[in-house]
């Protein structure tokens, strides 16, 4: 069946005999549309509607497929277009297609809980010389693309802002050193110290940004190596000894024997995860307190997200896909620092997110550490959670699938 005969039959089948039709008199309502064409349209995942120009009352929806009916809460067919869509951009696009006989586009933002962004496209349909004046209205979901675009723009703005602050301070100090502090050796020494710290901060920020972009590039590639968490944590603890001593904090690891906690992973990335979490715990710990690093070698997904302290708020920053019977290795890093109020928990792994007014020692962070942790854990098909009682500390948990496949009954 040709396209036009399908359209004629469609128009005919749904034309209201008592209402004036727009164009040449509609055929009788007894002709059914080709079932295959209609079924194909009906099953398309994107919303599709056929619109007819009506003489009175504005364009009319002749046919709306299942996706379009869901989007607009519309009846199957035969309803005035304005009853469904009030968006002026979409209505104008339909008019262009019906009466200007040209293709027209518009963006349609469906509000509500879903908050999706659609690209609406109206195309002239059929030939008004021989049949009714029709338009095909289709919608494609552009939410992900639009959000991705916004995220990229936000990210660039944030990254530039983060770099501009230390840079502005550096420029200020250089001016001072060349100006009135030129012959003041004491001031010069002090300023050079601050300049070194600012330059160090910029350098850390750039390292973290590059690290994040590298991790994102291969996030979809499953890592191949095997990593023993006990050995990896021991290495991190050893490397952090000077920092720990300086902070007056004790590290208390509680680890299974070597060989009992092995995951499939990229060793450098896993070390980065451990390091970032332990670094944070040290940074926010008061002197003379302990940071506990506990590894449980064999837990279920449910056990991994179970709250340990009933007084605590808990939030999963990343949940792995559920796989029946999968067993995990759970790493928990706890401190006795200020903890985090509930409202901050969901935002912790956002890039550059830092809790306002929190004391983090002299080494101000970049706010990228937990974002890096989240992306690495995601690449390893694991989970990331945080639990905290404000005022008495925080526990960050990472759980990663066991290398032996972790099926029930596995050794």
Ligand X SMILES: Nc1ncnc2c1ncn2[C@@H]1O[C@H](COP(=O)(O)OP(=O)(O)OP(=O)(O)O)[C@@H](O)[C@H]1O
Q: How far is CA 138 from CA 49, 64, 184, in A?
A: 6, 10, 72
397 binds Mg ion (CB under 5 A): no
166 interacts with ligand X by CB under 6 A: no
Query: How many whole angstroms separate alpha carbon 148 and alpha carbon 216?
Result: 14
Q: Which of 262, 280, 334, 388 binds Mg ion (CB under 5 A)?
A: 280
- Nearest approach in angstroms of CB 363 to Mg ion is 10
Shortest reach from residue 350's CB to Mg ion, in Å: 13
- Tell me the number of residues near Mg ion by CB under 5 A: 3
Contact with ligand X (CB under 6 A) among 85, 295, 394, 398: 394
- DSSP state for residue 347 in the 8-state scheme: G
Return the residue of 72, 173, 284, 315 that touches ligand X, per CB under 6 A: 284
Q: Whose Cβ is closer to ligand X: residue 201's or residue 327's?
A: 201
64 binds ligand X (CB under 6 A): no
Confirm if 8 and 62 have CB atoms less than 8 A apart.
Answer: no
- Residues from 214 through 243 that contact Mg ion (CB under 5 A): none
Total site size for ligand X, rule CB under 6 A:
22
Helix (H, G, I), strand (E, B) or coil at 359: coil
Q: Which of residues 352-371 bind Mg ion (CB under 5 A)?
A: 365, 369
Residue spans of beta strands (DSSP E) within 66-201: 79-80, 104-110, 116-125, 134-141
Binding partner of residue 358 among ligand X, Mg ion, none, CB cut-off 5 to 8 Å per kind: ligand X
The region, left, alpha or beta by phi > 0 then psi within -120 to 50, assigned to residue 339 is: left
Beta carbon of residue 284, minimum distance to ligand X (angstroms, whole number): 4
What contacts 24+ positions apart, CB below 8 Å, involve 2-7?
3/126, 4/126, 4/127, 4/130, 4/131, 5/34, 6/33, 6/34, 6/37, 7/50, 7/125, 7/126, 7/131, 7/134
Q: How far is the CB of 348 from Mg ion (least distance, A)?
A: 10
CA distances 305 to 243, 333, 381, 387, Å, are 30, 14, 15, 10
Residues 26-55: x/- map of binding to ligand X (CB under 6 A)? ------------------------------
- Interaction of residue 272 with Mg ion, rule CB under 5 A: no
- Interaction between residue 313 and ligand X (CB under 6 A): no
Q: Are 132 and 26 in contact (CB under 8 A)?
A: yes
Looking at beta carbons only, is 28 or 358 nearer to ligand X? 358
Angle at 351 between CA 350 and CA 357, to 5 degrees: 85
Residues making contact with Mg ion (CB under 5 A): 280, 365, 369
Q: By CB under 6 A, name the binding residues for ligand X.
A: 208, 276, 280-281, 284, 335, 337-338, 340, 348, 353-355, 358, 365-371, 394
């Amino acid at each position: 069946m040709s396209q036009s005969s399908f359209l004629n039959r469609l128009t005919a089948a749904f034309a209201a005999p008592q209402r004036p039709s727009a164009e040449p008199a509609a055929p009788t309502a007894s002709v059914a549309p080709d079932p295959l064409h209609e079924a194909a349209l009906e099953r398309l995942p994107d919303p599709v509607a056929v619109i007819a120009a009506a003489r009175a009352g504005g364009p009319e929806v002749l046919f709306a497929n299942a996706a379009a009916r869901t989007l607009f809460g519309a009846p199957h067919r035969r309803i005035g277009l304005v009853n469904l869509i009030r968006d002026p951009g979409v209505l104008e696009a339909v008019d262009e297609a019906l009466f200007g006989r040209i293709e027209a586009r518009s963006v349609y933002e469906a509000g509500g809980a879903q908050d999706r962004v659609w690209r609406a496209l109206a195309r002239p349909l059929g030939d008004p010389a021989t049949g009714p004046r029709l338009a095909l209205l289709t919608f494609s979901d552009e939410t992900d693309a639009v959000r991705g675009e916004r995220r990229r723009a936000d990210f660039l703005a944030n990254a530039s802002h983060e770099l501009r602050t230390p840079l502005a301070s550096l420029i200020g100090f250089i001016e001072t050193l060349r100006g009135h502090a030129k012959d003041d050796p004491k001031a010069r020494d002090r300023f050079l110290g601050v300049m070194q710290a600012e330059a160090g901060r910029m350098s850390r920020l750039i390292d973290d940004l590059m690290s994040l972009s590298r991790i994102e590039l291969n996030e979809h590639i499953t890592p191949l190596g095997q990593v023993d968490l006990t050995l990896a944590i021991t290495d991190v603890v050893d490397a952090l000894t000077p920092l720990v001593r300086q902070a007056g904090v004790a590290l208390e690891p509680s680890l299974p024997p070597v060989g009992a906690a092995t995951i499939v992973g990229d060793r450098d990335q896993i070390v980065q995860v451990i390091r970032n979490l332990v670094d944070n715990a040290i940074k926010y710990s008061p002197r003379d307190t302990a940071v506990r690093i506990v590894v449980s070698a064999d837990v279920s997904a449910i056990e991994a997200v179970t709250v340990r302290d009933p007084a605590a708020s808990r939030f999963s920053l990343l949940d792995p896909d559920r796989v029946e019977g999968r067993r995990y290795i759970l790493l928990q890093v706890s401190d006795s620092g200020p903890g985090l109020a509930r409202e901050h928990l969901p935002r912790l792994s956002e890039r550059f997110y830092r809790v306002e007014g929190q004391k983090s020692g002299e080494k101000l962070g970049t706010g990228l550490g937990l974002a890096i942790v989240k992306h690495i854990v995601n690449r390893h098909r694991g989970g990331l959670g945080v639990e905290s009682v404000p005022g008495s500390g925080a526990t960050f948990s990472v759980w990663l699938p066991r290398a032996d496949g972790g099926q029930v009954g596995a050794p």
